């Protein structure tokens, strides 16, 4: 849930939510608002109150990225090529390359490894060890 919200999600509800909750969520988000279903907001509040989750008072460089930039960063960190990302997001390859360059500049890194490290440390993605290594 937190990863989805950090990546720009404007609403979040559980799979078992009623159709009325889904319609309320869609209307709220369509009008520019945000929506968390009651069980989700309750769980989030409990985590904050228990100290399990600390609220950050200062933004990290990744937090300052637009939702689209965070989405592209996550896909880069997941090992997607510019062509893969272009197809997934319905963008031109050159647009994706421009995003990559802009991300490197904004985050102060010089290569994809640096972008990946920033995405991992920000929680945009998680390391997935190769379960079937070759060679």
pLDDT digits (tens), the chain, 135 positions: 776 776 678 888 888 889 998 999 899 888 888 888 888 888 888 887 887 766 555 677 888 888 899 999 999 999 999 999 999 999 999 999 999 999 999 999 999 999 999 888 888 877 766 555 555
What is the distance between the alpha carbons of residues 35 and 10, in angstroms, rounded to a whole number? 6
Same domain, 26 and 72: no
Would residue 108 count as lying in a domain?
yes
The domain in which residue 113 lies consists of 67-122
Instruction: Please state the domain count of the chain.
Output: 2
Would residue 129 count as lying in a domain?
no
State the pLDDT at residue 88. 92
CA atoms within 13 A on the CB side of 107: 26
Please give the model's pTM, rounded to 2 decimal places: 0.56
State the pLDDT at residue 128. 66
């Amino acid at each position: 849930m937190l990863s989805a919200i950090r990546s720009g999600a404007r609403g979040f509800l559980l799979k078992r939510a009623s159709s009325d909750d889904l319609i309320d969520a869609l209307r709220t988000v369509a009008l520019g608002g945000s929506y968390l279903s009651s069980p989700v907001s309750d769980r989030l509040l409990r985590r904050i109150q228990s100290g399990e989750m600390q609220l950050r008072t200062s933004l990290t460089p990744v937090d300052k990225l637009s939702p689209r930039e965070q989405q592209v960063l996550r896909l880069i960190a997941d090992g997607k090529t510019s062509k893969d990302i272009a197809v997934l997001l319905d963008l031109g390859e050159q647009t994706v390359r421009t995003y990559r360059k802009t991300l490197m500049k904004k985050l102060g890194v010089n290569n994809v490894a640096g972008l990946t490290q920033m995405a991992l440390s920000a929680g945009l993605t998680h390391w997935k060890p190769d379960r079937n290594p070759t060679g």
